[in-house]
Chain A
């Protein structure tokens, strides 16, 4: 890649940051060049972000309809899935999956809840509360 071919088209997901790419200067030396971003990167990253957002919105509707526990919404909202949440909280997957249902979650113990709270970085009361306050 030549220095002048380094993409500078911008990338919203970088939020104004620039990345260092290795490219050739006039003498043919490969050195870092600051890149403002590439549309291809922006596309794939925003796809990944959007996917979690959609999952969270679907979960929100299910919680509203009483089909899911708030935990499912917060999980996706924190860009996790079942596997990641199970690993981050150190709980069995089947247990987490069970807690995604409203009734078992209502009866979940304090310790389980504390683990979810820690893994998700949210206070326990928030996990129980519904509808969610808008969190970042």
Chain B
């Protein structure tokens, strides 16, 4: 039995949870909200032309891999990433890392992990978890969306690592090769916030950002006048499911981002960020109200009007837009220290 001492943490979301606990293990303590915020992973996007099971795709955070990439860029961590063509080699690589005393993050499918509750097992291939040991034919797994460490039989883990399809993990395995002793938090926070502001308020496509929330609101309004509510019903269910179930709960990414702003505000002693955190927390509450309105609509078999949904979404858009205005002001008032001043 090989086993590395690893502190399991229950997190709101898989990728940010894995990165937070991995970096902390390798010597750079980063909270989950920090991992999420510094990597600028907050998003809203609704793509009418990308369909999953006939329903347009909705996303509340950046695509898989962006926390890993964004956080290492922000902190100056060098990640070692390996993908494998051959499953045998992939499992050997994992064993070798464990033998060397290294817990590693891996990407897996959710469907083939037996410790997931049956009703949660769908074909989503970009789940992330940490493997920190092996006991005979079972791997010891720290899956951040579970309260406690889990065990996973080798055959299942192998299948989950080598499924094909959208976001195919191809055995992806990663760990920090080099973590800095410290990093410039002020700079990282500014950059992370600036990136999120750009994506959420200045994206050149109408399917991304606050504009996309309003666009979806108008779309639901139009759908409300359709005779057949079945499609509207599945669309609303899918939007809410992406919001509540996949990764986090309760407009979860908004609350997580609020926590990031709060922590950043405290550590940088910036009152404006603390206020923005409160506002973002409020935006999360608006998303929860939208989810409630959506659930009501679904329970009515789509017979009721979509007006409350449109209104709730408009509230979400308004409150988020207000947060972004606050954040932009903070950025303007505190210009980035120039490269010369930073001593480079």
Residues of A within 8 A of B (CB): 1, 6-7, 12-24, 28-32, 34-35, 38-41, 43-49, 78-81, 83-84, 87-90, 119, 121, 136
Determine the distance from Cα of A92 to Cα of B281 in the docked complex, in whole angstroms: 46
Question: Which residue of the partner chain, among A15, A34, A88, A121, contacts B117 with CB atoms under 8 Å?
Answer: A15
Which residues of B227-282 have CB atoms within 8 Å of chain A's CB atoms? 237-238, 240-241, 244-245, 248-250, 252, 255-256, 258-259, 262, 277-278, 281
11 contacts between A and B (CB under 8 A): A1-B288, A15-B118, A21-B249, A22-B33, A30-B33, A30-B255, A34-B10, A38-B249, A48-B122, A48-B241, A81-B53
The distance in angstroms between the C-alpha atoms of A13 and B120, with both chains bound, is: 6
With A1-B285, A21-B250, A30-B262 given, is the CB distance from A88 to B164 under 8 Å?
yes
Q: Does B299 contact A (CB under 8 A)?
A: yes
B interface, CB within 8 angstroms of A: 10-12, 32-33, 53, 111-112, 117-123, 145-147, 159, 163-166, 237-238, 240-241, 244-245, 248-250, 252, 255-256, 258-259, 262, 277-278, 281, 284-285, 288, 291-292, 294-295, 298-299
Most buried by B among A30, A34, A49, A136: A30
Q: Which of A28, A32, A46 contacts B12 (CB 8 A)?
A: A32
Q: With A34-B10, A41-B244 in contact, do A14 and B165 touch (Cβ < 8 Å)?
A: no
> Nearest A residue to B155 by beta-carbon distance?
A121
A41 to B290, CA, bound (A): 13
Report yes or no: B237 in contact with A1, Cβ–Cβ below 8 A.
no
Contact, CB under 8 Å: B250 / A7: yes
Assembly CA distance A65 to B171 (angstroms): 41
Number of A-B contacts (CB under 8 A): 126
Q: Judge whether B249 and A41 touch: CB under 8 Å.
A: yes
Residue pair B237, A38 in contact (C-beta under 8 Å) = no
Q: A21-B252, A32-B10, A44-B244 are in contact. Are A79 and B281 (CB under 8 A)?
A: no
The majority secondary structure among interface residues of chain B is helix
**Assembled-state Cα–Cα distance A48/B246 (Å):** 12
* CA of A84 to CA of B33, assembled, Å: 32
Please measure, in the bound complex, the distance between the C-alpha atom of A34 and the C-alpha atom of B250, giving whole angstroms: 12
- Name the B residues within 8 Å of A78 (CB-CB): 111
Report whether A43 and B245 are in contact in the complex, using a CB–CB cutoff of 8 Å: no
A-side contacts of B120, CB under 8 Å: 13-15, 45
**Is A19 a contact of B145 with CB atoms below 8 Å?**
yes
User: Complex Cα distance A20/B247, Å?
Assistant: 10
Contact between chains at A49 and B164 (CB < 8 Å): no
Q: Please determine whether A88 and B299 come into contact, CB atoms closer than 8 angstroms.
A: no
B183 to chain A, nearest CB (A): 22
Flag if B255 contacts A40 (CB, 8 Å): no
Docked CA distance A90–B120 (Å): 25
Q: Is B237 in contact with A40, judged by CB distance below 8 angstroms?
A: no
A41 CA to B241 CA, complexed, in Å: 7
A47-B298 in contact (CB<8A) = yes
Instruction: Judge whether B123 and A80 touch: CB under 8 Å.
Output: yes
